[in-house]
Chains A and B, each alone.
Chain A
Amino acid sequence: MLTVAREPFHFCTRMHLSSLTGLKASNLKELLDVIRDAPGSCIYHHTHRFLQQHQFLSPEPPNDFSYWVREVLGEEDLGEQLASIDVMQFPTIRSLREKIIETIENFLGQDPIAQKKFARTGEEFVFIRSISFIVWTDYFAANLREFVESLKKVTIDSIYFHIFESRLRLEKSTNDFSSWLETSLDAKTLADKIATLDPYTLTLEDLRMKIVRLAERSLEGAL
């Protein structure tokens, strides 16, 4: 007998537009200055753009800051440090921004000459912000089986929204799936398993399959 959810899960999808800010940086000092003042939607864009635009690559390229520092300024060390920031450890864009600032500041403290490296004309870091459009879909789940069936059908944009955007950008304590499984279905083990996946190192299709498999094992009582 399947447990009926106290509240059904309603899947959303998320589409986005990129908005240009007119802000640019051509060296590390300028990058740092703009990161300090840029809107949160800029930090979000540059740490998550690759996930959606290059969703077929595994492993994915790192975030935009890391890619630019490495490929344009030639700073391998800093590039690696920025790429390996564990975004899952940061509950808000604010705290993620602080970590990025701290990483660049520490690097410049140890290697002040690095700020004399400039990008060529045309290769400056251009700051972009993300405008998100959240739309309700026709997919609902009133129990775990329906959840699995819907999860197989929704777009990867929907998975992206419930796992990444909702947690970090809308500042919820965990991803939407884990939150619903725990509070509406009392499926705490499954909720915890999904919450401890590292979605930043998976493609969105792989992520979908992992969650589906976990939920199916839970249905079989094997979790």
Chain B
Amino acid sequence: MIRTEDYIPIVGEPVITDLRLLAQKLKGRKIVHVNSTAIGGGVAEILNRMNPLLKELGVESSWQVIKGGERFFEVTKKFHNALHGKKTEITKDDFGVFIENGQKNAEEMATDADIMFIHDPQPITLINKKKDNRWIWRCHVDVSRPQDDLWRFLEEYIQRYDAAVFSAPSFAQKLAIRQILIAPSIDPLSDKNRELPEEQIEDVLRQYQLSRAKPMITQISRFDRLKDPVGVIKVYQLVKKYIDCQLVLAGGGATDDPEGLEVFEEVKSLAKNDSDIHILLLPQNDIVINALQRASTVIMQKSLKEGFGLTVSEALWKAKPVVASNVGGIPLQITHKYSGLLCHSVEGAAFAVKQLLHSPQYAKKLGENGREHVRNNFLLTRHLKDYLLLFHSLYHPEDIVYL
């Protein structure tokens, strides 16, 4: 099992000392996380890493999962889409199912911990059981443009929490309660991000019949229109006029998503006459992704819309120069011209990629800056520190707190 001290070689001892100091001052407080699934999805992944580390630091932290039938999860899927701004019809009956399921869970679940940490909308109605303990609502989704009727419905619950937590500044809402900004993080010790021996990278390249003979431009993401794989091919074609390079578009999960399959086919047909475009439909294999990122010359994330876009931090952590769209949480990870290049169009992205391929020293400097930026701001240890500070903030309404 990974322990907090395993992160010392990466972030330095003082960071871990601070975590211990903050945790010590929470002694005696019980914290319960609640979400809607124990496996699968980003929230469960975060809690699976976070909860054991909190416990190891001496914080009494536990995790509960609400129950719900098929109909409830159909409704919450609708909620998810509508919060992302996709026009979705939510009926009175849908709201009824949501409320009723919440009541059932509230009857069965103990909610008397000092701090109740509720993740995402599914368990939000548990707030009905609030007594004099503290409650946090953690929103993991992009709510920059939520559907009006749904937001108004959820807002009635959110306003009764002590604090709400969002992942990016653009997700902020006008609320009477404290809103805290906590960005997600990557785990530098996970298979997706840990250092890899050169032979292992070469093995993966061989497995996918790739070579490093030409500069490699890579985008790792699902075959989804919002990730703009077609735009990435256009960028590559503009660059290819001047620089002999290759493109790797790699992602998974297309076969079980009808639209994903359509996008995959479209991308494949666009690429078929060019042997330097490699379209890889990957199984869920973090080592392969890690190796592809490490073998790349430039990494792109040309999304049209993005929740946070942690693939950017993954690439920066490997000190790679990144060209990415200025959307969602990406500008938090890249400061234009300091730790990567931001773009708004195919032409802008192509210009940026050419700049990086022509100026390896500049590309190297951006990559190094990016890695340090991630070290300071987007690693799991920073996330852990923010959560500990968040718990403390519930007992201190002031802006300057002496602990």
Contacts and interface: CB of A to CB of B under 8 A. Distances in A.
Interface in A79-129: 120, 122-124, 126, 128-129
B196 interface: no
A126 B403 contact: no
A17 interface: yes
B393 A131 contact: yes
Nearest to A56: B372
Interface string B370-403: 0011001100000001100110110000011111
Contacts of A61: 335, 338
Interface stretch (A132-140, A184-192, A193-201, A207-215): A132-140
A132 B400 CA distance: 5
Contacts of B179: 19-22
Nearest to A129: B399
Contacts of B171: 20
A71 B336 contact: yes
A47 interface: no
B386 A17 contact: yes
A37 B335 CA distance: 27
Contact of A123 (B15, B326, B386): B326
Interface residues of B, number: 45
Interface string B174-205: 11001111100000000000000000000000
Interface in B139-195: 144, 166, 169-175, 178-182
A122 B327 contact: yes
Given A20-B179, A128-B169, A133 B373 contact: no
A67 B179 CA distance: 24
Contacts of B331: 123
Contacts of B43: none
A49 B336 CA distance: 16
Nearest to A155: B14
Contacts of A15: 18, 22, 385, 389
Given A17-B389, A22-B174, A54-B373, A130 B21 contact: no
A223 interface: no
B369 interface: yes
A134 B390 CA distance: 14
Contacts of B174: 22
Contacts of A21: 172, 179
Contacts of B389: 15-17, 131, 133
Contact of B144 (A13, A18, A122): A122
**Which of A20, A71, A135 is packed against the most chain B CB atoms within 10 Å?**
A20
**Which of B15, B182, B326 is packed against the most chain A CB atoms within 10 Å?**
B326
B321 to A, nearest CB: 16
A133 B403 contact: yes
Given A56-B369, A135-B21, A170-B400, A19 B181 contact: yes
Given A15-B18, A135-B22, A135-B25, 13 more contacts: A15-B22, A15-B389, A17-B182, A17-B390, A19-B179, A22-B179, A39-B399, A54-B335, A61-B338, A123-B326, A131-B401, A157-B14, A170-B400
Interface of A: 13, 15-22, 24, 39, 41, 52-57, 61, 67, 71, 120, 122-124, 126, 128-135, 154-155, 157, 169-170
Interface of B: 14-15, 17-18, 21-22, 25, 144, 166, 169-175, 178-182, 326-328, 331, 335-336, 338, 344, 369, 372-373, 376-377, 385-386, 389-390, 392-393, 399-403
27 contacts: A15-B18, A16-B389, A17-B393, A18-B181, A19-B399, A20-B169, A20-B171, A20-B179, A21-B172, A22-B174, A22-B179, A41-B399, A53-B373, A54-B335, A55-B376, A56-B376, A57-B338, A57-B369, A57-B372, A61-B335, A123-B331, A128-B169, A128-B181, A131-B399, A134-B401, A134-B403, A135-B18
